[in-house]
Chain A
Amino acid sequence: AQKVTQAQTEISVVEKEDVTLDCVYETRDTTYYLFWYKQPPSGELVFLIRRNSFDEQNEISGRYSWNFQKSTSSFNFTITASQVVDSAVYFCALIEVNTGFQKLVFGTGTRLLVSP
């Protein structure tokens, strides 16, 4: 069965600090997709990134970057120069292709608190 682990329950940083959110996944499938979603205090789920298992290139989008390493089954998320608006719960998630259906399995989330 697939599983996503976000060991960091809560992280507190001061504005402008860099912060990395860890995500470790388990899957028996060779083809899968990994996601990060953000849930701000307002409660909605905001899509951040999707990465397939054949693409190990790291990705950067503004202050956000993602490090995908199949060798360690990790898909970590780094926020550079954090801002108060980054305060949210961040979820890592996984879809296995061979299930045939788009069943998104979420980690337990990491709450990020950025103080001024």
Chain B
Amino acid sequence: DTAVSQTPKYLVTQMGNDKSIKCEQNLGHDTMYWYKQDSKKFLKIMFSYNNKELIINETVPNRFSPKSPDKAHLNLHINSLELGDSAVYFCASSPLRQATNEKLFFGSGTQLSVL
């Protein structure tokens, strides 16, 4: 069974559209994240939720809205998509909010292409 699963794996859409990426973890972890990897492979954190509470918001445009209906899910909704949003988006989870001795478990990524 996949520990952290994201859907869809590929997403191609037009500028101006609204789209969502879903993420689910079956590890029982309390904390989930969204990372963005740009075309140069640079990985940067966007958001983090702990038990449905937003704990990290890294100056991401407000067109991006994460939603966590429960601690096992963290979805990413993007409004009015722009060309610059094209990237690979990774979901991740970890056991505890301050568990810096734990590693992050990453999903396999969602490649978003905005045309």
Contacts and interface: CB of A to CB of B under 8 A. Distances in A.
A39, A47, A105, most chain B CB atoms within 10 A: A39
Given A101-B55, A101-B56, A103-B56, A44 B106 contact: yes
A108 B99 CA distance: 24
Contact of B100 (A44, A89, A95, A108): A95
B106 A102 contact: no
Given A43-B108, A106-B43, A108-B40, A35 B56 contact: no
A47, A104, A105, most chain B CB atoms within 10 A: A104
Interface string B40-80: 11111100101000011000000000000000000000000
Nearest to B94: A102
A11 to B, nearest CB: 14
Interface in A74-107: 89, 91, 95, 97, 100-106
Interface of A: 32-33, 35, 39, 42-45, 47, 50, 52, 89, 91, 95, 97, 100-106, 108-109, 111
Nearest 10 CB-CB pairs, A to B?
A: A45-B106, A106-B43, A44-B108, A47-B103, A109-B41, A95-B100, A43-B109, A33-B100, A97-B100, A102-B94
